[in-house]
Structure 1
Amino acid sequence: MANTSIGTPEQLRDPNYTPPLSKAVPLGIQHVLAMFVSNVTPAIIICGAAGFGFGSNSPDFPQMIYMIQMSMFFAGVATLIQTIGLGPAGARLPIVQGTSFAFIPIMIPLVAGKGVDAMAVLMGGVIVGGLFHTILGLFIGRIRFALPPLVTGLVVTMIGLALVKVGIQYAAGGVPAIGKPEYGSLINWTMALIVIFVTLGLKFYARGMLSVSAVLIGLIVGYIFAFVIGEVNLGNVGRAAPFALPNPLHFGVEFSVAAIIGFCLMSFVSAVETVGDVSGITKGGAGREATDKEIEGATYADGIGTAISGLFGALPNTSFSQNVGLIAMTGVMSRHVVTIGAIFLILAGLIPKIGAIISSIPIEVLGGGVIVMFGMVASAGISMLSDVDWNRRNMVIFAISLSLGLGLQLEPGALQHLPSTIKVLATSGILPAAAIAIVLNLILPEELSDEATEEVSGGMAGHGKGSLQKDDHV
């Protein structure tokens, strides 16, 4: 519900309206709190996968602090491009940018166990993928026909399913091969479950800021518990510098065919997600459809923000859906409110001690948070799939895409004889599933849509759009 003490209803729907600073600053901080954990988590996961994210005694551990720092800094920079604009880039809407989860399943195989040296290949992919994403802004509206809810819902669901294993490993104590001997112990799971239970409690029984920041508060409570039982090492906080600027080409740049193809293909998914977020903001905050100029500007900003991030050692950026919901909840459409939040992110990114504190979070505590977050990613995909008309044609497309995509991810050894580049792309799970779904959706005749579904569903025929019948009381 809109707060009329901030401005008139007309002002609140105007992206160019600036609320009084006494109201705008807390609203901007609220946007930062809503996205903070999701923004820094991908950096921790990728560093951990590379092998220098665990253990403060590792000589490469400061690199994780730097990547966390850059995640905050360039999320702020990319958000400023969206809210203030940079030439044709930027929707000039209250869009919050942050590090994308979508690319994680593509990035993990590229860096797995290879240490800091693998980051150069990753950054090459981020830069080229960002530039390709920028080009998509020229014709994003014309390719949406190839990405209906059947395809986008499948891809988002696959992203969540690809990541849930990481959440369980973290909650149990880290990746087994490099984790602690007490992997899966009761104390490890206790730390993770505290985060989950606190998050659920706040999400369902609290209101306002407490509900919006449920995951963040859950992590703080889990962190305090871990500190009390002696599981937190703050040694790196004291050693971290009080101030540091971004370092160009910090990890270097190396161009790999597998990385470039993977990042460019995932840019399609990220671009479509951004189109959906822009539409959600204009509908929820202003009660209107997004203009072509706004959608194109947002896509340009996505790509430019990602390319710049890669030059300084950060990961791909995209619009954050949780902040879209926050705008609908507060009723404040002001882009200047989000600009204030972006400034806070940039300032946080200039203080390595903040990154050091974040990096001191025990992996088990973080595991509790990411189990919730990754589960929500999968849930979002399933929600998108509810818009699909589950006839025989769509069921076959979904079945084949999911079976091959998820199957190859679970059993990468099945492709051991393929060239390494193709193997990395195919075993990501997401790319083969997306490619198969797009191709089948384009080539299979629509005539199949009117035929019965019993022969492929064991008698569980769909009940029209959204599949199963819904109880009106649910």
Structure 2
Amino acid sequence: MAPQAARRTMRTTTRSPHSPRTSGHPVDEVLPLPRLTLYGFQHVLAFYAGAVLVPVLLGNSLGLSRQELVYLINADLVTAGIATVIQAWGFWRIGARLPLVQGATFTAVSPMIAIGQGAGGGTAGLLVVSGAVITAGVATFLLAPFAGRLAPYFPPVVTGTLLTVIGVTLIPVALQDVGGGASLVGHSGYGDPAHLAYAGGTLAFILLVTRFGGPFLSSVAVLLGLVGGTTVAWLLGDADLGAVDEAGWLGVSTPFHYGMPHFALFPMLAMVVVMLITMVETTGDVYAMGEITGRDVDGETVTRALRADGMATVLGGVLNSFPYVAFAENIGLVRISRVTSRFVVVAAGILMIALGLVPKASAVVASVPHPVLGGAAVAMFGMVATVGIQILGKADLKDERNALILAVSLGAAMLPTVVGPFFERMPTEVRAVLGSGITLGSLTAVLLNLFFRTRADRRSQKEIDWDALATEPDPAPGR
């Protein structure tokens, strides 16, 4: 029996007879409501900082007022929650039915800022962004079946490299939070010993709970670390809860809040290119989650996942939000917690919607200090890279072609990650592709695999023809 099949068999045969009914696979297990809520809230905490970063960056760049920015954040949370439910629960041929949490993609940040500023900034810029996002979502939905057929072009060396690249390039983001967050970079408070203590203490607490806490406590180690770190910071006066008093109790996101979207040709084309890039990332995420959960993934699974991305992105444009893809942070969390039920992620999606509708509750989650979040993120992002390395173990890295795919892709991913200003003089459309380590590394892996695969096929064919000629008997005389 194959190792993967053996793991699945063990999971299904060792389950207690008093466990909730399932369809035979841990991914489809419906846990009791208290555990669904607890595990779901852990996903929300892991997701939250990255979720609000996209609207904050875009809103500040376009000069939105504080009130408009708060509305943008709430709209993002509501849309992300709906997108997560669509992806994890699934219906018809939409949704991967895997524990994938959906969030606004960072790949689209720079293009959206350029589009919005080019349209004059403010809410006028948002309307052009919304038109481009809706168009890109429709294109993603329609192209999903074709992208799903490319599954054979994602062997372990590609998917493993994709996940390793994602994890390695996200770790610097976690380390930036450890130092105090992006807003403190260049200021005297960045890297304060207190920040390092909060991050180190949070990470150490997570490790201790995982080591000594037993199965249940280990599964919520990240949540306990975040709550514990925030509590200590609050007691020492380093966690600001003032935003909770300022926030309202109810805020409903309505379609086309800022007005009807504007559809401009070049912004639409730019956003379609962005979504084509994120389709590669989503494909890698789906295969990674299949590896973690022991669920078989094929081209149809990828197609359903991409359809969910497209539908969520269209919804994002309607609700004044953004393009959506699977969040790598939560892939790492599934790996750490070993809770693979997709209904936990459905619960997380419902909680996100609730947070988006109740700004005061959202403000409570937002009060988690950056260093505390960074300490937990180091482990989660590292786990994403670890999953990639596990998948790479299935590839023959003694083959120089596979080794070169991994080596060159990692080098390409590090270029914009380590040397930030490297592509600053490039046109905006080019920076949208080259300015992200995840995007550049992923595209490099895919293209190199296609290159080596084609060359290998041609060389193999020539060798077969040569051998056939060499062994073919000579024709009879006179023929």
The one-character-per-residue Cα deviations of 1:124-147 (angstroms, maximum 9, x if unpaired) are 665444334323432344201222
Q: 1:7 to 1:157 in 2, by over 3 A?
A: closer
Q: Distance in 2 between matches of 1:417 and 1:251?
A: 33
Partner residue, 1:466: none
What runs of 5+ residues in structure 1 fail to find an aligned partner? 451-474
Provide TM-score, normalisation by structure 1. 0.75
Higher percent of residues as helix: 2
1:202 to 190, 194, 209: 209
Tell me the equivalent position of 1:465: none
Match of 1:303 in 2: 310
The residue aligned with 1:107 is 109
Are positions 1:270 and 2:282 aligned together?
yes
* 1:76-225 equivalences in 2 (<5 Å): 76-82=81-87, 85-90=90-95, 93=97, 95-99=99-103, 103-104=105-106, 107=109, 111=113, 126-175=133-182, 180-225=187-232
CA 1:158–1:321 in structure 2 vs 1: closer, same or farther (change >3 Å)?
A: closer
What count of residue pairs does the alignment treat as equivalent? Answer: 430
The one of 3, 16, 31 aligned to 1:3: 16
1:254-403 equivalence runs, <5 A:
255=267, 257-274=269-286, 277=289, 283=294, 289=296, 296-312=303-319, 313-314=321-322, 316-318=324-326, 321=331, 342-390=349-397, 391-403=399-411
Say yes or no: does 1:446 pair with 2:456. yes
Distance 2:122 2:232 in 1: 31
* SS class of match (2:32): helix
Deviation at 1:179, TM superposition (A): 6.2
Q: Give yes or no for contact 2:198–2:371 (8 Å, CA) kept in 1.
A: yes
- Report if aligned partners of 2:151, 2:299 keep a CA contact under 8 Å in 1: no
User: Alpha carbons of 1:62 and 1:365: their partners in 2 closer, same or farther (altered >3 Å)?
Assistant: farther
Stretch moving more, 133-142 or 360-369: 133-142
Of 23, 44, 49 in structure 2, the residue corresponding to residue 41 of structure 1 is 49
Deviation at 1:32, TM superposition (A): 0.7
- Structure 2 residues without counterparts, runs of 5 or longer: 1-13, 461-479
What is the distance in 1 between the residues matched to 2:89 and 2:33? 17
Post-superposition shift, 1:221?
1.0
Q: What's the CA shift string for 1:428-474, capped at 9, x where partnerless?
A: 12333223322221222338999xxxxxxxxxxxxxxxxxxxxxxxx
Which structure would you say has the larger Rg?
A: 2
Alpha-carbon separation, structure 1, partners of 2:417 and 2:186: 22
CA contact under 8 A between 1:34 and 1:212: conserved in structure 2? Answer: no
Q: Distance in 1 between matches of 2:274 and 2:84?
A: 24
Q: Is the 8 A contact 1:223 1:361 kept in 2?
A: yes
Instruction: Report how far residue 224 of structure 1 moved.
Output: 0.9
Task: Answer whether contact 2:159 2:388 (CA < 8 A) is retained.
Answer: yes
**Contact 2:107–2:432, Cα closer than 8 Å, also in 1:** no
Cα RMSD between the aligned structures? 4.0
Shift of 1:38: 2.8
CA–CA separation in structure 2 for the residues paired with 1:79 and 1:67: 18
Q: Residue 392 and residue 406 in structure 1: after superposition, are their counterparts in 2 closer, same or farther (change >3 A)?
A: same
- SS of 1:99's partner is strand
Q: CA deviation at 1:201?
A: 1.6
Given that residues 199 and 373 in structure 2 are in contact (C-alpha distance below 8 angstroms), is that contact kept between their aligned partners in structure 1? yes
Cα-to-partner distance string for 1:383-411 (whole Å, 9 max, x where unaligned): 22222211111112222232233224433
Identity %: 26
CA–CA separation in structure 1 for the residues paired with 2:299 and 2:72: 34
What is the CA distance between 1:110 and its match in structure 2? 5.6
Deviations 1:360-382 (A, max 9, x none): 22222222222222222222222
Structure 1 residue 227: Cα displacement = 0.7
Aligned pair 1:32/2:40, yes or no?
A: yes
